[in-house]
Structure 1
Amino acid sequence: MTIREINQDDLTNALTFWNNSIKRESMIYKSLDQDSFSSKFLKSDLNIEIKTYLYTEHQIIYGFISGSIDLDKQKAYISTVLVDQDHRRKGIASVLLNHFEDYIKTKYPFIQSIDIVFFNPIHLEWIIPNTMSHIHPNAPGIDENSSGYHFFKHHGYIEYAKQNSYYQNILGYTYSRHIEQVFESLGEKHISVTFYDSSKHIGFDELFNNLNNENWSVEITRGIKQHEPILIALHHDKFIGFTGPLKVESNLRGYFAGIGIHSDYRGLGIGKALFSVLCMELKNLGAHYMSLFTGNNNPARNIYEKEGFNIVRSWSNMRKTI
């Protein structure tokens, strides 16, 4: 038995191990090609260190673990642990996990925990159940239906949040009567939904300071610089809410970054209006479906469910203090 760090010479065998395991175990994760496998499990950069260890006997791979370290945020994450189906219950996964944890403790003593969460910079795409191979671009935790969920609980990882993944085919999406009434109600308050125009609309910095969400600010700023349409809510000409950027991914998924409403304007139905217009505009751009995730206790789930989105997977965010 040997545990060692993966290298470029292992790429072909490790890729084959991953793809065969995915097919054999009917896992929801997407098969990978060499480039995508290498980018997720081999290639570190200045800000993100990737650590992948193999468990081998006589040069045959029986398991591997991979995680990442965000050096800017000083956070450590686990991306995946995978063991050959015929070699389960032999302690392979436990040995790999201990090896990864010991590396973090030794090299990064200032890192206080290891997380399994959507903030992991390494994204693993997964196939949405009961669809024509529709893909969501990131697993926001550990699949609660997987054996990994119980494995990590056994090894001291504590569940601290639950995420639900939502899905809907939007090819036939139309505005409901309820949404039309929301538009009418907002119009009476001089609140409208339109596309962002930096030359006309004021309040960008005020809104994102109020939302206090760095990821949203970065994503919307990026979208504006790349001339991607941003849907916004306006009170007269003041920017009070957003969703977008609007774009259709190569797999025909309508992109979704989130919805944010200024705290002074919540409870009026603005989020419902923005999300419904987002669905319609993405359909008009050629999207076939949308998928997203949100916390189990996030009130935004009511918006998605009202528009016909259904939960297709539940995930656990887990953390171990080290």
Structure 2
Amino acid sequence: MLTTWDHRYTEAVIEFWNTEAVKDGYKELTPESLDRIFLSSPYFDPENTFLWMDDGQVKGFTCGCTGDDLPLGQVAGYLTCIVIAEELQSDEIYSELLKAIENRFRTLGKKQSEVLFFNPMMLPWYIPDTPKHEHNNAPGVPIGSRLHSFLAAQGYIERATECAMYLDLSAFTYLDEMIAKEQKAASEGYAVELFDAAKHHGVAEMLQGFDNPLWQKEITASTEQGTPVVIAVRDDKAAGFAGPVIRQDNGRGYFAGIGVHPDHEGHGLGSVLFFKLCEAFKNIGTDYMSLYTGKDNPALRIYEKAGFRTVKYFAVMRKELSL
């Protein structure tokens, strides 16, 4: 039987998730994390959340979200997850759950279904071969999973591959090559250092050079609130950034991203910014860093040079919904 969300299912969903979703590497749910990720999200809607019941027990869970203020939100719904008990994983039950969420998107006037990293319901997962180090967001469908192959068979087009990368910061070293790049940039009038509100300016103008609302929001807030951010400057005017530099309670180094304004590209600033960021994290006792980036993103080489390795691949997928 298919039914929509009701709070009386809370404990059963947590138990189900912690039995089944963990098999694909997702972190366990607690009442607090279920509330934080799903129920308290401004994008949560019980009508976008479906349960597959079998003999009175939760055996399937799917959730999606919509919001006109989200990237692509006026035309797209986001598919967050489909989890089915291993013994019931058939195309028939997957289809029932997928059909339910897609029909809900259609009812809300959405023209496409997205599995994409802009989804505000972020699912944390454990990084393989680590002592339960975790990443805070799954940027797509895990490649090789049962759901990945099912969505591909249902008309979801794989639009990009995201590489999830990991670095144990105890092994990080600021390379001589980066020292040389930093010296060369300095000879061209650039410096890379922590943001100082009394000294530096032009952050808002620099951020406008990127088509990234997340960066504009987080880096602006960090520089205004005094959270450390690594920036590249010329004549004390911001030319690029990396950060913010935040050590999370689980030991992970959280940061929003790295970018160099188009007017200042070609000076090696991206590499220096990232290595300075890793150094800043190590200096405040951060245990590890994790991030994801597109398989074809040139920044991948910078991350690898810093010692990062790819630990998992995720597919960004889309399906056009016929109305």
Structure-2-length-normalised TM-score: 0.94
After superposition, residues 154-303 of structure 1 pair within 5 angstroms as: 154-303=153-302
Query: Contact 1:203/1:239 (CA < 8 Å) preserved in 2?
Result: yes
CA distance in 2, matches of 1:230, 1:223: 7
Superposition deviation, residue 197 in structure 1: 2.1
CA distance in 1, matches of 2:35, 2:201: 44
Question: Does 1:60 find its partner at 2:61?
Answer: no
CA distance in 2, matches of 1:134, 1:180: 30
Long gaps (5+) in structure 1: none
CA distance in 1, matches of 2:196, 2:2: 55
C-alpha distance 28-89 of structure 1, shift in aligned 2 (>3 A)? same
Query: Contact 1:6/1:42 (CA < 8 Å) preserved in 2?
Result: no
CA distance in 1, matches of 2:173, 2:65: 42
For residue 66 of structure 2, what is the amino acid of its counterpart? Answer: I
For residue 202 of structure 2, what is the amino acid of its counterpart? Answer: G
CA distance in 2, matches of 1:285, 1:44: 31
The residue that corresponds to 1:319 in the other structure is 318
For residue 246 of structure 1, what is the amino acid of its counterpart? Answer: V
Question: Does 1:4 find its partner at 2:3?
Answer: yes
C-alpha distance 41-206 of structure 1, shift in aligned 2 (>3 A)? closer
CA distance in 2, matches of 1:88, 1:262: 47
Question: Does 1:92 find its partner at 2:93?
Answer: yes
Tell me the secondary structure at the aligned position of residue 162 of structure 2.
strand
Superposition deviation, residue 48 in structure 1: 4.9
CA distance in 1, matches of 2:96, 2:39: 20
For residue 279 of structure 2, what is the amino acid of its counterpart? Answer: M
- Cα deviation, 1:269-305, whole Å, max 9, x if unaligned, reads 1011111111011011110100001111111111111
Superposition deviation, residue 171 in structure 1: 1.6
Long gaps (5+) in structure 2: none
The residue that corresponds to 2:68 in the other structure is 71
C-alpha distance 311-81 of structure 1, shift in aligned 2 (>3 A)? same
Superposition deviation, residue 52 in structure 1: 1.4
Query: Contact 1:171/1:283 (CA < 8 Å) preserved in 2?
Result: yes
TM-align CA RMSD: 1.5
Query: Contact 2:53/2:59 (CA < 8 Å) preserved in 1?
Result: yes
Query: Contact 2:214/2:256 (CA < 8 Å) preserved in 1?
Result: no
CA distance in 2, matches of 1:250, 1:171: 17
CA distance in 1, matches of 2:68, 2:226: 30
CA distance in 2, matches of 1:256, 1:103: 34
CA distance in 2, matches of 1:39, 1:4: 22
**How many equivalent pairs are there?**
316
CA distance in 2, matches of 1:284, 1:39: 30
CA distance in 1, matches of 2:153, 2:288: 37
For residue 136 of structure 2, what is the amino acid of its counterpart? Answer: P
Superposition deviation, residue 254 in structure 1: 0.8
Superposition deviation, residue 38 in structure 1: 3.2
For residue 80 of structure 2, what is the amino acid of its counterpart? Answer: S
- Cα deviation, 1:124-180, whole Å, max 9, x if unaligned, reads 000001111100000000000211110101111111111111111012322111111
Superposition deviation, residue 82 in structure 1: 1.0
The residue that corresponds to 1:27 in the other structure is 24
CA distance in 1, matches of 2:115, 2:209: 28
Tell me the secondary structure at the aligned position of residue 170 of structure 2.
coil
Question: Does 1:81 find its partner at 2:82?
Answer: yes
Superposition deviation, residue 41 in structure 1: 3.7
